[in-house]
Each structure stands twice: as structure tokens, then as C-alpha cells.
Structure 1
């Protein structure tokens, strides 16, 4: 159980205990050097600064889906952050002056703990069901929900901002 900070709120019912309304399957797992939350980078920038590559290993049934992925320089990875609490709806980040709603944060603690990562594709072995990426900001063994090619022409929005936040 995670401790609640001053100003935080939990949901009355933990989403992990609710009946599912979709059938999400895991297509593979991430092999990363990070084995504890304390050591794991907080975001992809920090992961890249650590300079440690990672691997995604796909289950046998999903390996044919990797065909032609080598055309992409970068990929978008959707992961299931299985160690994160799911019932925290208002959070008080350590660096914030006041509590914030979960949907205004990038925190892994959320009703559906889906991680979003953009990584450089370093190598691919379809037969072995492995792709190598430049970095990752999740724990070893994290399940993968999906992977998609990153398209700079449609995915990058250079004018996007968050008010009051320095993104440098």
C-alpha cells in the first residue's frame, strides 16, 4: 500500500477490483536494467541520460506484427505499469505546491496505469521477437500493451505547452 500525502484523494473503489470492460492482452514484456522504483528513471529524458539500452520481447503469437517495423526510426510503446497504485485520483507530487488531478499529471499512479514511451529503435529480430531500444523508464518485466511507429509529421507538436512548467 502506498502512503497518501497531504491533499491527496483516493477513489472509493480501486479500479483493480472493478469488473473489466475491455479485454486488453499483454503482447510482451520489457527487459530493462531497472529493478526498483527508487533506481528507475522518472521519465524518458532521464532514461536516455543514463545511457542504458533496453529490449522488448514479444510473445510468439505477436511476432509477425513486427514485420516492416524496421522502417521506423522511433516507436511509441504503451506499457502496463503493473506496480503502480490505481486508486489515487488526486496526487500531491513532491515537487508541487498543491495537489493535482491525476489526469493533469504524467504519474504512473492512475486508474489505468498505462505508460507512454517514445524510444529510438536500435535493432529488431522478428524471429526471436525482440526489439532493442535506446532507453526505457520502466521496471524490468513491465508488460507491453502495444507498439506503434512514431511519425514525426503527425505526432510531434512543437507548439504544445504546459502552463507554468519549464520543459527544459
Structure 2
């Protein structure tokens, strides 16, 4: 499997404790910068209000298979949670597009940490 980042996140969230549990719990504005070689993939993206952003949670633990979710007392398998700790730490957020300028998207509801690699963007 060959996975290449298509861009990077510029976010106010620098650490896990800064980030909301889910993007919709924060109105913070983030920016997604798409690398020049993939910028043409944004053609007509301004026609869509909501996007699905897939990103790599590069600072997450990859060796945990069980976690205790927030507000719970018992362990669960990571595949039954939204925990960033998982074998393949892929993050997924539905975001609202606020502004598009060339290869930059200003969005709301993205819970990714600053400098997280963007794997893909899809319309919602």
C-alpha cells in the first residue's frame, strides 16, 4: 500500500489536549493547504459547502487495541471508538468550507492537530 499525503493541516490545536473530542464540538477555524502537485484536484470545490477530510493522526499511539472512552469506565476495543490510538490512525471529519483561495481551504469543525498530513478530501 502506497499512501501519499495530498496536503497538510494548519490548526490552532497543537496537542491532543487542545483538540476537541470531535470537530463539531468546536467552531475553531483551520486551514487545509493542498500541495501544489494536487491543487488541480480542488477544481470547482467551492461549489460544495461540506467536505469529508481524511487525515493521518501522526502523533497517535499505534500499539493500543483497547482504550477507555471519555465519560466511560470500561475498556473497549479501538474499533468501537473514535480514539486516535489505533493500528492505522486515520482521522475523519465532516467540515464546513468557509473560504477557498487557490490551494487553501479555510474550514470549521476539523479536529486535526496542526501539521497533520491530509490523506484525502471528498465531497459530503
Q: CA contact under 8 A between 1:33 and 1:139: conserved in structure 2?
A: yes
What's 1:68 paired with?
44
Q: CA deviation at 1:36?
A: 1.7
1:26 correspondence with 2:8: no
What's 1:41 paired with?
20
Q: Aligned residue pairs: how many?
A: 124
Using CA pairs under 8 Å that are at least 6 residues apart, name the structure with larger relative contact order, 1 or 2: 2
Q: Distance in 1 between matches of 2:32 and 2:98?
A: 11
Q: CA contact under 8 A between 1:34 and 1:139: conserved in structure 2?
A: yes
Structure 2: tracts of 5 or more residues without a match: none
The structure in which a higher percent of residues are strand is 2
Q: Distance in 2 between matches of 1:99 and 1:67?
A: 44
Structure 1: tracts of 5 or more residues without a match: 1-21, 151-168
Q: Distance in 1 between matches of 2:108 and 2:40?
A: 22
Q: Distance in 2 between matches of 1:62 and 1:45?
A: 27
Q: 1:61 to 1:111 in 2, by over 3 A?
A: same
Q: Distance in 2 between matches of 1:80 and 1:136?
A: 13
What's 1:91 paired with?
67
Q: CA contact under 8 A between 1:41 and 1:138: conserved in structure 2?
A: no
Q: 1:36 to 1:94 in 2, by over 3 A?
A: same
Per the normalisation by structure 2, the TM-score is: 0.94
1:108 correspondence with 2:87: no
Cα RMSD for the two superposed structures: 1.1
Q: CA deviation at 1:94?
A: 4.3
Q: Distance in 2 between matches of 1:63 and 1:138?
A: 20
1:63-118 CA deviation, whole Å, 9 max, x = no partner?
Answer: 00000111111000000000000110111234222110111001111110000000
Q: Distance in 2 between matches of 1:69 and 1:46?
A: 24
Q: Distance in 2 between matches of 1:121 and 1:93?
A: 29
Per the normalisation by structure 1, the TM-score is: 0.71
